[in-house]
Structure 1
Amino acid sequence: MRDLGNGFELDDDPARIDVASVHRFLTEQAYWAIGRPYELQERLIREATRVVGVYRDGSQIGFARAVSDHNSFVYLADVYVDPAFRGHGLGIELVREMVENGPLSNRRWLLHTSDAHDLYRKFGFAEPDFKLMERPVQPPPGGNAGSGS
């Protein structure tokens, strides 16, 4: 746990994550997770390599998760700070805690994002200088793949 002052704190204790709060925000306000099933969100948190929550007076107001092979790369996902609490530098501290202060700080970090580019550039993220390929979500035969980002 890291105290940020003014009642704000960061914590990477997975047991403290309020899954319902994270799911509600992501499915209602995050363009990349609209419609994500609760069970999937619960699993994404449970199986993440690391999660960090932002809290104000004990209530969750922000979140980030990372997925890694523990050796060569880390994928940063689901980063948010509730709009009511933006403008206090919480997004900067959340990304700093995840990328610079955690056990995966010396790995190659990746993310997909359509916004907050200036925030991520502060931590060394940049557009790749090589060809990046990706395989979009493929629904299983007769099923729905959902959203895994």
Structure 2
Amino acid sequence: MADGDKTIEISMDRARLDLDYCYDFIAASYWSAGRTRGEFDRSVEMSFPVGAYCEGRQVGFARVVSDQIAIAYVADVFVDPDYRRMGIAAKMIDALHSHPELKRVKRWLLATADMQPLYRLHGYADLDDMMMMRLDEDARNRDPLR
């Protein structure tokens, strides 16, 4: 994706993540007050992360916590303020939805206080004022993981 001269790359490569950058952003967010760096590192280790990159630096992050079969929870989605309105969050969500190890997941959940319009475009419906869910009815028709 390009916006002017800015090419955005979406990658599931865990080794590329700039965890210092991600933690600094997430530690200042409304949804993770009090999360320690150790807790953040562990949360990334125990999930499926995705990063967005522009000109060699990370500009976005998201992750999914899942059992890989029944449920997936989208968490910690953010885009650097200087790179918003370029479709980066949408690209990261699409990458997570199409992750090969998550292809059999039927129920996708997330919580957001302010980004409901974005998630509605990706098939999520409101459960209440903060929680949203997406049902992937085709998940059961895909080849099993094992």
Q: How does the TM-score come out when normalised to structure 1? A: 0.77
1:40: Cα distance to partner? 0.7
Structure 2 counterparts to residues 1-149 of structure 1, below 5 A:
4-5=1-2, 6-28=6-28, 30-48=29-47, 50-99=48-97, 101-103=98-100, 104-107=102-105, 108-128=107-127
Q: How many residues align?
A: 124
How far apart in 1 are the matches of 2:104 and 2:45?
A: 23
Which runs of no fewer than 5 residues in structure 1 stay unpaired? 133-149
Which runs of no fewer than 5 residues in structure 2 stay unpaired? 132-146
1:105: Cα distance to partner? 3.9
1:15: Cα distance to partner? 1.1
Aligned residue identity for 2:50: V
Off by >2 Å, runs of 4+ in structure 1: 4-7
How far apart in 1 are the matches of 2:111 and 2:69?
A: 20
How far apart in 1 are the matches of 2:46 and 2:126?
A: 27
1:106: Cα distance to partner? 4.2
- Secondary structure of the 1:111 match is strand
How far apart in 2 are the matches of 1:67 and 1:121?
A: 20
1:35: Cα distance to partner? 2.9
Aligned residue identity for 1:44: S
| Pairwise CA RMSD | 1.7
Deviation digits for residues 39-63 of structure 1, max 9, x if unmatched?
Answer: 1111111111x11000111111100
